[in-house]
Chain A
Amino acid sequence: MGVATIGRVSRDNTSTDPKVRAPLVLPGNDYASITDKVCSIVETPRPPKAWYVAFCIAASLTGVLGAVVVYLITTGVGVWGLNKPISWGFDITNFVFWVGIGHAGTLISAILYLFRQKWRTGINRFAEAMTIFAVICALLFPGIHVGRIWLEYWIAPLPNQMSMWPNFRSPLLWDFFAVGTYFTVSLCFWYMGLIPDLATVRDRAQGKVRQIAYGILALGWTGSNRHWHRYERAYLLLAALATPLVLSVHSIVSFDFATSMLPGWHATIFPPYFVAGAIFGGFAMVLLLAVPCRQWFGLKDVITPRHLENMCKIVLATGMMVGYAYAIEFFIAWYSGNPTEGFVFINRAFGPYAWAYWTMVFCNVATPQVFWSRRARSNPWIIFGVALCVNVGMWFERFVIIVTTLSRDFLPSSWNSYTPTWVEIATLAGSFGLFFTLFLLFLRFLPMVAMAEVKAIMPAPHDPVRR
């Protein structure tokens, strides 16, 4: 691409003309400029002011999280507003919410890889980082909600003082294996993708400390083609393994509910419904992070309007699947002829938690509909707004499922209502603090775009004139 043509090429690569292959990296870039753009973010002595402001807020919230978790552990789970019959509230809502967020990262890194969706390369790195940090936040909640956390190792199949083994017929134990495996595999996948890019940062490092730190992290990568050969094969295998894994994780999370006998939970639609919701909420979170990041760190050439548009389309599609699941739940509640089931759903929509239900429906079903319009899909403000709405909506979805069912049991004498205490609200806010603290540190110290993968999908430089 000659310099003269660059000025005439549109910066908008969202064209749907099937005759033209839209560029995945905007024109005017070569291998070196990609490295410069991505590496300068981690090399600059001073990140943008917005980074400092965001980091201060996030780190303070993480401090709050630490304090309330210590308070919870030293005092007991009574500091939460949970009691019979509502023994799950904010804790499990937050757990399911955060695990769900992670799913988009794995979908982008593994499923889109298997389907040869080359546009994934611009966004997969930070989406995978988002997965890791979201799963850390998710693991926190089951970790602290058990009360006596020092006996947590009883979950693992380890010999213990009671000479007992875990009950492998419990979905809660399946959950431990599913989320634990998910975290480990996501971490391997993410780190493996990082190795070549860490080597790039190592090779450009100026100071001794940076050279040694990135040198150790890059594991001595030399870009050897014999290494690339095994690396690519291992990456493909990990993608092939992560694909069924990610579908299994939220399915197993949904078994926590679906295998119980409670009305509103005991439904066969739960696994696909939960997986669609997880991808929906996760993509919204990727958009929520991508829109400001590409602005602040000058990555608009790599995370292009087309990337955002594609993600908006996925949000629209998965949002409609979620909407369909909401409708089918109601249909089955009526069609089953089970009066308790019917009552639970009428109560969800028109009972004391109707405000939460309609917030969920508005955020998850109504707002993504704006993405039918191409103008909305290419306006970062609208994308950010819808992504925010979807995240709120997906949190409320889990809240509605958990609380409406538990608060209206089979026996009216045991009905109750649930109000979170300040400790629960602070823990939720703190989990966002932890997530954003980790994410901001990632942006500061690790390459946020998979440079090697982006270069592999760029057109090769022209051959020099043959002699």
Chain B
Amino acid sequence: MSTPLQVYEPFRAGLPPLRKYWRSLWSRRTFISEYSRSELREQHFDSIFGQLWLILNPLMLSAVYFLLIVIIGGSGGAIRYGHLTASLFLFYLVSNSLSGGVKSVTAGQRLILNTAFPRMMLPISATVIAFFKFIPTLLVFMIMRTVLGLPFGWQMLWSIPIILITLIFSLGVAILISTVNVYFRDIASFLPYLIRTLLYLSPILYEASALKPELRVLEHFNPLFSILESWSLSIVHAQTPQLSSMLVATGWALGVLLIGTYFFLSREREFAVRL
């Protein structure tokens, strides 16, 4: 008698066999790229004007916020504007991942009910889509900082690991929120408030260094604080970010990814009966 191709047994400790899960996830990477591409195409981001909108949207937003800062705070300047724009662009990577991830599982209902596949592909695709939307804004910022005359330096290379950390964090929150949305379908309507709060608590409209010492406690509670502080230092100021905030950022990102993944995997078996 031949050996079975597939064996389905109850999960131990509520988790699927991880090695097998990872293997089937890896073998379906073409799905993730194909899905992201067709999703972007469907949102018209393959056209010139679609791409333009992608850049125009945060650009106009940064212009509006700049106006606000100048009126309230009185201080403008190229660095300030550069900081605002760069931070908003990175913030959008996280926020796009959140808003794309939240419905990724519930929207995949038909596929989930009909096909056996690692469900985690769905929130992963949402993060990949958010990353694809982020790339053109990065190019725009590079042009912009040249025009603004911001300092250049090798320290700007620190932004590469920071983007990586942000991606890990974005993936973590996308996975986490997609699971929560299965149980509470109205989470998506709370999301704008959450994102807005996160925006104001993060060093985007202000610089981390300008914050009053008593408000610095924010950095311990806001996972984006250390990420955005390091990001601004490296890509706007061309300075080496502090090792401590890089470590805190990495810790947050990995922690959120780990918790999100555990939560997702332990609930995944229920998705088909909960949708």
Chain A partners chain B: no
